[in-house]
Structure 1
């Protein structure tokens, strides 16, 4: 009886893990028939796209990026796709066109100088977008710490000090994010503004916060 219960528990656990697999979630939201890219019911004919620029940050960024590359036609991928996604160091692996950047060490959930460098690269990349380009943003849990870009006049050390004080004071994740976006050049719409020259900007988000707040 105990073995049966243990088997059921493992099956339930595995079903939960499979349900939130980042590649699976991307494949549910994105499809491509060779001529048209469809992202959450929005359709983009490939022959109208000069470039697909993929950027983002998060612990699921590697899986999301890999799944996206697998969905795209080989010629389109090799010739018209570029990307940069900030991920934890232990998630870095080689992909064909999307660079996975080690924005922080594994297990360290705080912004780093490497994360700032990656965020600056992302801002440069989307800033080059033209009206013929689609910018696709991949965001998942941990993105706040992996995409640090302090606003002018604020240093990374300042942001770290504020975040630590808030955490010591018992601030919730929603409260933390509310403050973080005021100190960031990418959060609170900053990344979208940087990509404003693109023909379209669309996001794919995997939330790990209760209630899924998108701010």
Structure 2
């Protein structure tokens, strides 16, 4: 979906993370829609949210076609929760509780402002020491808006690596194709992540995305212990 660069902010003399959307993803979302949705997240100032510093479009030198869409976040030393789970398998109850508290604090703040993440998953949670931060607010919303406007299909976005939610963490209403979801979808995803942190795997698995989505709607998670 995007390439991440470690960059240096000359004006403020600091390291930042620069994410540049792949050209095909940028074309599918549209510059105006993406920049509108991503800028909304600039209002999210919270200790457990990776704040948006800047965003924009870099025009092509020849002036033809869409430019490169980018957004900038603070650079944080650490790893994603996905990387930690891959390394450790599962986490202790104490570590799980601490990370969940940070994620829920971040989401509570966003939800009070009317902002729903729509794609909460371990890849979108940074862990830096004993501190967890939620990142990439606005990206899934831009994808949802693109589908709702009929400018691009859900299948096209999935093929480009830009999901409107991720099957293993999608609430049943997302799994059945509902685009306009609310804060409950984020909380469902947090519950799935809690299950995975304690057990070592998500509650529902399958050989295809469709099988996983169906399990969210029709099955009950097996007990952890």
| Structure possessing the higher radius of gyration over alpha carbons | 1
TM surpasses 0.5: no
More strand by share: 1
TM-score, normalization by structure 2: 0.29
